[in-house]
Amino acid sequence: MTDNIRYSIVIPVYNGEKTVEELADRIRKLFENLCESYEIVFVDDGSADNSWLTLSRMVGKDNRIKSIKLTGNSGQHNATFCGMSYSKGEYIVTMDDDLQHSPEGIPVLIEKMRETKSRVVIAKLVNKKQKWYRQKVSDIIRNLSELTMNKPRGIHLSSFRLIERQVVDTMLRLNWASPYIPALIFYITTHVVNAEIEHKDRKYGSSNYTILKMFRLAGKLLLFNSWAILRFSRKAKPAFTVEKIENLP
């Protein structure tokens, strides 16, 4: 049931008090220009700053903004999975909260899906604004994912994506305890393409992912989301626990 919402923009938030208002405002202007209905689903993933207070204030000003607060830091994939489970749109956009994923790139994803009739479009981030060693780790993770998942060779991964509703609903029915969204996507469909989108500079702070954290996350997610495990195993524990919800039924 979509309640006539065309697009849901799902955004996990971790210490994003400085960016979420600008992000929401740019999304609003974009979809007003596109003349498309939308909602923004923010998921506060255990932020240590005033992200939740900021989101609560934003919800009071715009009923198209929804906010969910998790009981602790569950991780980006779990938080995104949570936002998807509360989304109502015919299509779901996932993106980061730090403004390095430009909302103005969303029409590029939409047009690519229309052109290719694909079920998922993943942004291939060009001119990436990150240290060379972080890029090397990302390359290793991408290569490992081709061995452990059904990922088509050459497809680049990022958390900036456009996914059709049916794929998201199938992902939610799998109800996985440690969801790794790319693994779930490729388990469901190989009708996935890339669209090139410029990677923007970070306006505030630095990434929460150290090299060690990236390797630990990659090991955990790839181990528990391999093709065989996804096919034959079942959910063992909740992927996330919600503490508060604002502006959602």
1 within domain boundaries: no
Q: What is the pLDDT of residue 47?
A: 96
Q: Is residue 2 part of a domain?
A: no
Report pLDDT for 168. 97
Calpha distance 102→97 (Å, rounded): 10
Look at residue 119 and tell me if it is in a domain.
yes
d(CA 28, CA 179): 29
Q: What is the pLDDT of residue 2?
A: 47
What is the rounded CA–CA span in Å between residue 160 and residue 203?
18
Residue 204 in domain: yes
Per the listing, tokens 């790139």 go with: 105
Supply the CATH number for residue 184's domain.
Answer: 3.90.550.10
The pLDDT of residue 176: 75
In a domain, 141, yes or no: yes
Is 249 among the domain residues? no
* Closest C-alpha among 179, 164, 65, 87 to residue 122: 164
Which pLDDT belongs to residue 199? 81
> What was the pLDDT predicted at 215?
60
- pLDDT at residue 214, rounded to an integer: 60
Please state the pTM of the whole predicted model. Answer: 0.85
Helices 211-224 and 132-148, axial angle in degrees (round to 10): 10
pLDDT at 127: 76
CB 162 within 8 A of CB 106: yes
Burial of 47 (0-12, 13-18, 19+ CB in 10 A): buried
Q: Among 162, 155, 141, which Cα is nearest to 225's?
A: 141
Question: What is the per-residue pLDDT for 180?
Answer: 82
Range of the domain at 117: 7-244
Instruction: Give average pLDDT by consecutive 10-residue segment, the chain, 249 residues.
Output: 83 96 98 97 96 96 96 91 96 96 97 98 82 61 65 87 97 81 89 92 59 60 54 56 81
Classify strands 120-126 and 192-198 as parallel, antiparallel or unpaired: parallel
The total of structural domains in the chain comes to 1
Within a domain: 59? yes
What is the per-residue pLDDT for 141?
64
Tokens in use for 41? 């689903």
